[in-house]
Amino acid sequence: MPILNRAAELQNEVTEWRRHLHRNPELLFAVENTASFVEKKLKEFGVDEVVTGLGRTGVVGLIRGNLGAGRTIGLRADMDALPITETSGKAWASETSGKMHACGHDGHTAMLLGAAKYLAETRNFAGSVAVIFQPAEEGGGGGNEMVKDGMMERFAIAEVYGMHNMPGMPVGQFGSRVGPIMASTDEFTITIKGRGGHAAQPHKTIDPIVVGTQIVTALQTIASRTVDPLASVVVSVTKFNAGFAHNVIPEEAVLGGTVRTLMPEVREIGEARIRTIAEGVAQIYGATVQVSYNRNYPVTVNHADETGYALQAAAEIAGAGNVQPSLDPMMGGEDFSYMLLARPGAFVFMGNGDTAGLHHPAYDFNDEAIPHGISYWVKLAETRLAA
């Protein structure tokens, strides 16, 4: 089944927007120029209401349909980039050293702008569409900030939908699943206090490096010996900082890492076991520990009915054979999870083709995917808001 003709006609224009955004990446909440670009475009399209400053730097445009009163659905794109130096070599590569759109948020923003232009032209729906442009997905929790700012209530949003590109999935394909689709993203820091001394006299010390290595090893038993093998959990120690000289046993070592789960109850187990293991191992060696545990993004959980609506809209654009209704969940995180806690909705993936992976310095959003993404958004809005 074909993409919409108007979406295909918009491809070159939307590609220009996308490449402009790619050249000019901004991080976290500091997306003022990107938000201004979005605001300007929405006003050019004749969107009925444009509100800025939601969740600090988010933008929402409200488009009212011509087919009468009805509900409001929200369509969300993220705007922020990553602190990575780009190596793609593309003519439109980042012009800001140390920042790049390595996750395709430039494409997400451009596609939703394309859909907004189409919907503002046609208005072939009842009720309203809220196009949501969110800052700070990459670790800042911008989705949560927009929800806390009253976005759902202000625009009377009844359902909310998100979309992300997926390298390795062919362009024109879509996938999602009911239930957990992306993991919670908790972070921990373990500070080990020992007793330093001369490296030639370890018996007079309490070596925090030895304690730390034992803790790292013991943490692996959370996945292998604590959590049901059929339940997903990842515990990764990603930082180990200690010492300053070859001949000195330090006073302190600091470990850090992340815990990823797909179930709230496993999340509870993970935090509890990290504390118990760290404290128990430290006690064996006579050291002390302090565990700092940060509950970051929650599990992204798709609602059943809304996932069905999203997959049906994708099938009408791509054909049923190009839609995966039982996509494997991923252990990466996504702050669209906060919006799904506030309202029913669904998060889907669309193909980006054979490109470098997300968060890779050579990554680039595939502009051939643009008309597929625009068509999906339009079809979803029109079918969910049919008169």
Per-residue model confidence as pLDDT tens digits over 228-237: 999 999 999 9
Please state, for a pLDDT cut of 90, what percent of the chain lies above it: 99
Round the average pLDDT of the chain to a whole number and report it.
97
- pLDDT for 74 equals 98
Cβ atoms of 238 and 256 closer than 8 Å: yes
- pLDDT for 31 equals 98
- pLDDT for 85 equals 98
**69: Cβ contacts below 8 Å, ≥ 6 apart:** 126, 127
Token pair recorded at residue 138: 């990459």
Mean pLDDT of 39-58: 98
**75: Cβ contacts below 8 Å, ≥ 6 apart:** 112, 115, 129, 130, 131, 132, 160, 161, 377, 380, 381
Give the pTM.
Answer: 0.95
E-assigned strand segments in 55-116: 58-64, 72-78
Please state, for a pLDDT cut of 70, what percent of the chain lies above it: 100
- pLDDT for 194 equals 98
Task: Inform me whether the pLDDT recorded for 1 exceeds 60.
Answer: no
3-state secondary structure labels for all residues of 168-209: CCCCCCEECCCEEEECEEEEEEEEEECECEECCCHHHCECHH
Three-state secondary-structure class, residue 234: strand
Task: Inform me whether the pLDDT recorded for 120 exceeds 70.
Answer: yes
- Please state at what angle helix 105-122 crosses helix 370-384, rounded to 10 degrees: 50
- pLDDT for 94 equals 98
Q: What confidence tier does 218 reach under pLDDT thresholds 50, 70, 90?
A: very high
- Beta strand 179-182 with 300-302 is antiparallel
CA 203 to chain CA centroid, nearest Å: 48
The alpha carbon dihedral of 280, 285, 288, 289 has a sign of negative
Q: What length is written for the chain?
A: 387
**Distance from C-alpha of 298 to C-alpha of 183, rounded to nearest angstrom:** 7
Mean pLDDT of 42-48: 98
- pLDDT for 3 equals 84
| Nearest C-alpha neighbor of 183 from the set 280, 82, 258 | 258
Mean pLDDT of 361-380: 98
**Distance from C-alpha of 147 to C-alpha of 342, rounded to nearest angstrom:** 7
Indicate the residue type of 131: V
Mean pLDDT of 258-282: 97
- pLDDT for 2 equals 78
- pLDDT for 105 equals 98
**Distance from C-alpha of 76 to C-alpha of 35, rounded to nearest angstrom:** 14
Task: Inform me whether the pLDDT recorded for 267 exceeds 90.
Answer: yes
CA 261 to chain CA centroid, nearest Å: 15
Task: Inform me whether the pLDDT recorded for 164 exceeds 90.
Answer: yes
Task: Inform me whether the pLDDT recorded for 121 exceeds 70.
Answer: yes
Tens digit of each residue's pLDDT (9 = 90 or more) over 85-111? 999 999 999 999 999 999 999 999 999
- pLDDT for 387 equals 79
Q: What confidence tier does 314 reach under pLDDT thresholds 50, 70, 90?
A: very high
DSSP designation for 3: P
Task: Inform me whether the pLDDT recorded for 275 exceeds 80.
Answer: yes
